[in-house]
Structure 1
Amino acid sequence: MSDKLKVNMNEYLPLRDVVFNTLRQAIITGEFAPGERLMEIALANRLGVSRTPVREAIRKLELEGLVVMIPRKGAEVAKITEKDLRDVLEVRSSLEELAAELAAERMNDEVKEKLEKALKEFEEAIESDDNAAIADSDVDFHDVIFEATGNARLIQIINNLREQMYRYRLEYVKDTEYHTVLLNEHRELAKAMVEGRKEDARKIMKRHIDNQEMTVIRNIKEEN
């Protein structure tokens, strides 16, 4: 566990949320490795807080699938398995293919501007080589697509999977060789949706998610 655990204090958030956000960020960015134990006392000392907000944060992280409780050992950072990845991406692929198709059908001028802005910010993030920034701008790009559907239920379901998806998203953006492919897929996807090509948008989105799955599985196997 790193000695440098950055706490981003926010006067508008309760301490337990600040601790949760700090630990969550450390997990999804890989500062805490899969399988690493999370000791309440050690974390409390590093964060300069009592054990209570740490314990509450760990429980919340467990609910989101980022932490698992091991009998007689305690909390550990959840490992990324090929089965978990496939389960999450099967669901994500179906939802995002539908979103791409609906977005292409319902695209308006306001959303087109937002999509263009999100694509530009994604390009800038790719150029920066900052993996966290790439992952966040990737989220923003896809959020514009979800918004374009105008389907509140679809957006709600996707948001419920957001945390699980984010961890895998960070895993595939770590592969720098994949960045050019990722950017080109975003460009193709945006063009198809803006031009109202529903079927093309769906196919591009499917290929986009499939490529991510293959990239992460390859990375998992190399790490093991």
Structure 2
Amino acid sequence: MMSEFTVNMNEYLPLRDLVFNTLRQAILKGELKPGERLMEIQLAEKLGVSRTPIREAIRKLELEGLVIMIPRRGAEVAKISHKSLQDVLEVRGALEELATDLACQRINEEELKELTDAEDHFKKVVENNGSEMEIAEADEAYHDIIYKATRNDKLVQMINNLREQMYRYRLEYIKDEAQRGTLINEHENILEAIRIRDIIRAKTLMKEHIDNQELTVSQNLEDGAEAESRLNHKRK
């Protein structure tokens, strides 16, 4: 069953770009799942457009590596690879450490209160069994306050440019319910280190936070690949 996503009409963008942005967001946010087939007719009917902008969008998504073409099957959402995960998280890790360093030096009392509130909200969403997307958005809001506290517009811009790709991996991490308690603890420890302006500890904790995400998602990818391999073996 196809997820509920729609085209967000914007008079300043051509239809082909609207369709492309809609499908791209659906993939990055997990509304279109890895391995899910992209049927032109179904997507055209769902979005209320012709097949032409759907076809053009799929070609562009293939160039971005978010879609792959399978012989005799057509287009499907690309699965997350270890290489793409590592590439994105290496860049994110470096930017997050720099952001944490600067935030420790520049954060004010009002922002510390915002960060505390964001962590409390994140904890409540997790403990109330919020959806994966709700937890991801609460996690993102926590990190956004750290970015804002850097007072570095170029750094924030670079992080925002990576945000959409990060979102896909953030969702994959959050799917592992066993890690959600760890996330709360990591957030609280980072917050406390920033509060007392312990730059070295805050950066170390942030690095561990990102490293744990990579390790967990990598392990989940391996487990998924093994499960798929066993299933394919049974079918033969």
Distance in structure 2 (CA, Å) of the matches to 1:9 and 1:16: 11
Deviates more, 1:126-135 or 1:213-222: 126-135
Q: Which amino acid aligns with 1:95?
A: L
Aligned to 1:176: 177
**Equivalent residues in 2 for 1:59-208, closer than 5 Å:** 61-62=61-62, 65-68=65-68, 74-129=74-129, 130-208=131-209
Shift in alpha-carbon separation, 1:121–1:44, aligned structure 2, 3 A = same
Aligned to 2:214: 213
Q: Which amino acid aligns with 1:120?
A: D
Distance in structure 2 (CA, Å) of the matches to 1:133 and 1:21: 21
Q: Please provide the CA RMSD for this pair.
A: 2.5
Q: Which runs of 5+ in 2 are unaligned?
A: 226-236
Per-residue Cα deviation, 1:152-187 (whole angstroms, up to 9, x for no partner): 111111111111111000000000000000010001
Q: Which runs of 5+ in 1 are unaligned?
A: none
> TM (normalized to structure 1)?
0.86
Distance in structure 2 (CA, Å) of the matches to 1:91 and 1:125: 28
Contact 1:111 1:144 in 2 (8 A): yes
Contact 1:89 1:209 in 2 (8 A): yes
Contact 1:5 1:46 in 2 (8 A): no
Q: What SS does structure 2 have at the residue aligned with 1:76? A: strand
Q: What SS does structure 1 have at the residue aligned with 2:136? A: helix
Distance in structure 2 (CA, Å) of the matches to 1:66 and 1:23: 10
Question: Offset of 1:32 from its aligned partner?
Answer: 2.9
Distance in structure 2 (CA, Å) of the matches to 1:21 and 1:133: 21
Aligned to 1:7: 5
Distance in structure 2 (CA, Å) of the matches to 1:56 and 1:138: 33
Q: Which amino acid aligns with 1:82?
A: H
Aligned to 1:47: 47
Q: Which amino acid aligns with 2:140?
A: V
Per-residue Cα deviation, 1:182-210 (whole angstroms, up to 9, x for no partner): 01000111111121111111000000001
Q: Which amino acid aligns with 2:154?
A: R
Contact 1:8 1:18 in 2 (8 A): no
The aligned length equals 222
